[in-house]
Structure 1
Amino acid sequence: MMKKTLLAGITFVLLGVMVGCGNKTVQQPASESKNKTTNVSTTDSQVSEKTKVEKVKTIDVSDAIKIYQEKHPKTDITSVELESERSGLVYKIEGVDDETEYDLTINASSKEILRDKSEKLDKEDRAGVKRKQDKLDLKDIISIDEATIIAEKETGFGTAQEWSLDKDLSTTYWEVKGVEGRKEAQIKIDAKSGKVLEFELDD
């Protein structure tokens, strides 16, 4: 089974709002307090989104997929990864046809193709067996940034360390892993609808 991990240095946001004045508690009307909380959340979300774009200057996963499909048009994609190498962030995309497996590495900033490898599938995986089993449904999938926002909202903490675009039966999903101290969160998100499928927190 091929590695299906996407690495990205994207930070989950933990938002806390504290209001204090000496030893006195300042009370506000419910409607005013609610509006202020909403405004702060919106502002922080915008800052977080801007930071991600500036910090990780990479092409979108859809652009990387397009580059692969132009290079190997008669294949199906089975794995998409975003990870760090010495040269910087790269996309690693794997795919298959009925007889051969392909591995394309793309510079995530310049779109340059760094490596393009292929090898024959094992006998038991040929004749479309692996192709049918591992093919990802990539139509209308949510972006990495969209999956990140969903994960932030669900977990409320952590640093994104691993990404995996995988499938379970007919469902293609993002799996995002993040850490906070000794805790690790794993969340699975439907890659089409954005619905949270599973959330695990390990102490």
Structure 2
Amino acid sequence: MKNKGLLLAITSVALLLFAGCSDNTAQLESGNQQEESSQSMSQEKSSAQSSSHTTASTKNSSDTANKQISLQEAIAVYRKEKPNTDITGIEINSRMNQLIYEIEGMDANKEYKYYISETGEVQTKDEKTLDEDDRGEDERNKEKLSFENLLPLDKINAIAKKEVDGNIVEWSLERELSKTLWEVKVEKNGKQTDISIDAQSGNVLEIDEDD
């Protein structure tokens, strides 16, 4: 009977030890799974952030590379270079599939011409001394463009296309007498048409079709 009781006691202790080991193993496996899951989620999050950062960087780089400045921004580039001058003429045309802003200005003694790319880079610039008859504040006031209440270029384009529904290839902003006007060149069916538009009112002043 003693031996039988001792055997039962040893068996009970062994079962308790086995049960304790099983619980610890399960917890360890559970802990490993949670850690692996956490690491996996962390890696996925890190990967997603990295991917997002790469995409954002690529997009920003692409946006910078493809950025095309507006007329107002081109004017700002010129004015930063020559703040004490008046703008007397602007021409916009396409060269090798890129827009070029040609901006002319003057002060009391010199006239200036800046060529600005569609990305805002000053490509070339030129200046020369005015003739004696063209110097002075009075002459400068006669030549300078008025930017007050200037219509947006997209509205000028719409007005021109209403007259001739073709491809606009060139724009010139100039002054005639007391008016600031746009000369818009439109191509259609192999012909070019020049349309003069009041830059402030939008009134069509003249239409000249090339023969």
Whether contact under 8 Å (2:91, 2:170) holds in the other structure is no
Between the aligned partners of 2:103 and 2:197, the Cα distance in structure 1 is 20
Residue 82 (structure 2) pairs with residue 72 (structure 1):
yes
Between the aligned partners of 1:138 and 1:118, the Cα distance in structure 2 is 23
Query: Structure 1 residues 65 and 184, CA, compared in 2 at 3 Å: closer, same or farther?
Result: same
Aligned twin of 1:96: 106
Aligned twin of 2:94: 84
Q: Tell me by how many angstroms 1:100 deviates.
A: 0.9
* Larger Rg over CA atoms: 2
Residue 152 (structure 2) pairs with residue 123 (structure 1):
no
Query: Structure 1 residues 90 and 182, CA, compared in 2 at 3 Å: closer, same or farther?
Result: closer
Which ranges of structure 1 fall in alignment gaps of 5 or more residues?
1-55
TM-score of the superposed pair, with normalisation by structure 1: 0.63
* Cα offsets for 1:17-56 (capped at 9, x unmatched): xxxxxxxxxxxxxxxxxxxxxxxxxxxxxxxxxxxxxxx9
Residue 172 (structure 2) pairs with residue 172 (structure 1):
no
Q: What amino acid sits opposite 1:89 in the alignment?
A: L
Instruction: Using the aligned pairs only, state the percent identity.
Output: 40
Q: Aligned to 1:134, which of 131, 137, 143?
A: 143
Between the two proteins, the alignment pairs up a number of residues equal to 146
Residue 119 (structure 2) pairs with residue 114 (structure 1):
no
Whether contact under 8 Å (1:61, 1:143) holds in the other structure is no
Q: Tell me by how many angstroms 1:140 deviates.
A: 2.6
Whether contact under 8 Å (1:183, 1:201) holds in the other structure is yes
* Cα offsets for 1:49-82 (capped at 9, x unmatched): xxxxxxx963211111121112211110011111
Between the aligned partners of 1:175 and 1:164, the Cα distance in structure 2 is 5
SS at 1:67 equivalent:
helix
Q: Tell me by how many angstroms 1:131 deviates.
A: 1.4
Q: Tell me by how many angstroms 1:89 deviates.
A: 2.2
Whether contact under 8 Å (2:112, 2:127) holds in the other structure is yes
Between the aligned partners of 1:57 and 1:143, the Cα distance in structure 2 is 19
RMSD, aligned CA: 2.3
* Cα offsets for 1:85-122 (capped at 9, x unmatched): 459322111100000111122111x2122223322111
TM-score of the superposed pair, with normalisation by structure 2: 0.61
Between the aligned partners of 1:69 and 1:162, the Cα distance in structure 2 is 22
Highest RCO, 1 vs 2 (Cα 8 Å, sep ≥ 6): 1
Between the aligned partners of 1:133 and 1:91, the Cα distance in structure 2 is 22
Whether contact under 8 Å (2:112, 2:125) holds in the other structure is yes
Q: Tell me by how many angstroms 1:130 deviates.
A: 3.8
SS at 1:91 equivalent:
strand
Between the aligned partners of 1:116 and 1:202, the Cα distance in structure 2 is 31
Between the aligned partners of 1:147 and 1:60, the Cα distance in structure 2 is 14
